[in-house]
Amino acid sequence: MIKDLTAFYSKAALNMKRSEIRELLKVTRRPDIISFAGGFPDPQTFPVKDLEDISCQLLREKGAIALQYGPTEGEAPLREEIAKWMSGEKASIKPENILITAGSQQGLDIVSRVFLDPNDFVIMELPTYIGGLQAFNAYRAKMIGVPQDDEGMRMDLLEKVLAKLAKRNKKPKFIYVVPDFQNPSGVTMSLQRRKKLLQMAYQYGFPILEDSPYRDLRYAGKNVPAIYSLDTQNQVIVLGTFSKLLCPGLRIAWIMAPAEWMDRMVVAKQGMDLCSPTYTQLLVAEYLRRGLLSRQIEKIRKLYSRKLEVMLNALRQHMPKGVKWSKPKGGLFLWIELPKKMSANILFPQAIRNKVAYVVGSAFHCNGKGQNTMRINFSYASEQQIVEGIQRLAKMLKENM
Ligand SMILES: Cc1ncc(COP(=O)(O)O)c(C=O)c1O
């Protein structure tokens, strides 16, 4: 009999880390806890009736296709609709540039599988999306975090990192950015920084991975052009998803990439799941074809901008001096900075005892720092819960100051 079954794990499997958020969500599902932890949309926003109508028609009229295997690249009507949607920002996008994935999280895995060998460098914002860290880590990449400010990743610091790597004859396999209402910080990268990032990508020769699930969730201010729309050299790969606009349960997302990179990505996906579910792809394709998405986005923008306002008001009213928070113009998250000596990690069990949950900021730092920070979500809880939850959090912080 084998004594230690785990001795058979590959180095890659040993390197994999559980997402702290996914672990946390198990606790935060308790009905007595007000959860600011997940990035969950408000279920009120799910277009249940529209999807029910389309679903019935789909099964009645196209059941034989909808319940069958489909092409790895994705269903043609859906790729066409997404290409059309994205062409709003850059006219040259074609269905051939779109690969349908099971959530953007699979997109992160596919891109990592295609680009990363162990010890390859990936550069990212500090902090950044935890699921990105998880994917790059699984392929044993070396991660370099570049601090950001109110305008996104600091380009002066990025330049230093790139020059340092170049001295050793190295460069990143790609730079990963979440430029719009970033998860976790809520920061949006300015136009000037986007241009500078592209300029460095051309100068040093590396791809940019633009992951933008929150782009359409703007509640104030003017749109900043997507990085891919500014790209003239075919060096940007985009991850898009319907998780935050429609609903995450359908798991419909996409990679948009230059045709030259598509082939390997398709092969990588083939080895993972053969194809994304045909049924949910055709459901979303018809939803888009009927032109229902714009109305849906308007609806959620209204709801979330109201919730954001409620949360900002509650923070202003209840938080003790010394606690700072971001004031995003979109997305689903606020970023909180506690006084340097405090640790959101140490306080977490106390928060759960007080029946309020957040995500510790250190989980989003590839260097393990950020202990005095936390991410809180404003889309999931009701307005009443938002006020009550912020009061609970503020009370706990005051007691620990
Ligand atoms: C920046 C970012 N990328 C990717 C994802 C994954 O989204 P999904 O797999 O639901 O499409 C998320 C989810 O919160 C995210 O915030």
User: 256: which strand partners?
Assistant: 98, 238
Amino acid letter, 317:
Q
Q: How far apart are CA 51 and CA 9, in angstroms?
A: 42
Please give the chain's pLDDT, 401 residues, in tens: 888 888 889 888 887 777 666 666 677 778 899 999 989 999 999 999 999 999 999 999 999 999 999 999 999 999 999 999 998 888 889 999 999 999 999 999 999 999 999 999 999 999 999 999 999 999 999 999 999 999 999 999 999 999 999 999 999 999 999 999 999 999 999 999 999 999 999 999 999 999 999 999 999 999 999 999 999 999 999 999 999 999 999 999 999 999 999 999 999 999 999 999 999 999 999 999 999 999 999 999 999 999 999 999 999 999 999 999 999 999 999 999 999 999 999 999 899 999 999 999 999 999 989 999 999 999 999 999 999 999 999 999 999 99
Ligand 1 atom closest to 178 (CA): 1
Which H/E stretch holds residue 376? Answer: strand 373-377
Determine contact, residues 134/17, Cβ cutoff 8 Å: yes
Residue 98 β-bridge partners: 256
Q: Whose CA is nearest to atom 4 of ligand 1?
A: 104
Best mutation site among 241, 280, 281 for ligand 1 pocket (most ligand atoms within 8 Å of CB): 241
Which fold would CATH assign to domain 48-292? Aspartate Aminotransferase; domain 2 (3.40.640)
The full length of the chain comes to: 401
Ligand 1, atom 16, residue with closest C-alpha: 183
Distance (Å) from CA 180 to ligand 1 centroid: 13
State how beta strands 236-241 and 252-256 pair. Answer: antiparallel
Half-sphere exposure of residue 229, counting CA atoms within 13 Å on the CB side?
14
Helices (H), 144-250: 155-167, 191-204, 227-230
Distance from residue 213's CA to the centre of ligand 1 (Å)? 6
Q: For CATH 3.40.640.10, list the domain ranges present in the chain.
A: 48-292
Distance, in Å, from the CA atom of 244 to the CA atom of 334, rounded to the nearest integer, reads 16
Question: Which residues line ligand 1 at a C-beta cut-off of 6 Å?
Answer: 39, 103-105, 129, 131, 178, 183, 211, 213, 241, 243, 248, 253
pLDDT number for residue 368: 87
Count of CB atoms within 10 A of residue 10's CB? 8
Domain 5-47+295-400 matching CATH 3.90.1150.10: the answer reads yes
Question: Relative to the CA of 129, which ligand 1 atom is closest?
Answer: 1
Q: 3-state DSSP call for residue 11?
A: helix
Residues whose CB falls within 8 Å of the CB of residue 130, separated by 6 or more in sequence, listed in order: 19, 20, 21, 184, 359, 363, 364
Q: How far apart are CA 48 and CA 83, in angstroms?
A: 25
- pLDDT number for residue 21: 65
Closest atom of ligand 1 to 105 CA is 9
Question: What is the amino acid identity at position 276?
Answer: S
Q: Label residue 367 exposed, middle or buried (CB < 10 Å: 0-12, 13-18, 19+).
A: exposed
Which atom of ligand 1 has the smallest separation from the CA of 212?
A: 1
Location of each CATH 3.90.1150.10 domain in the chain: 5-47+295-400
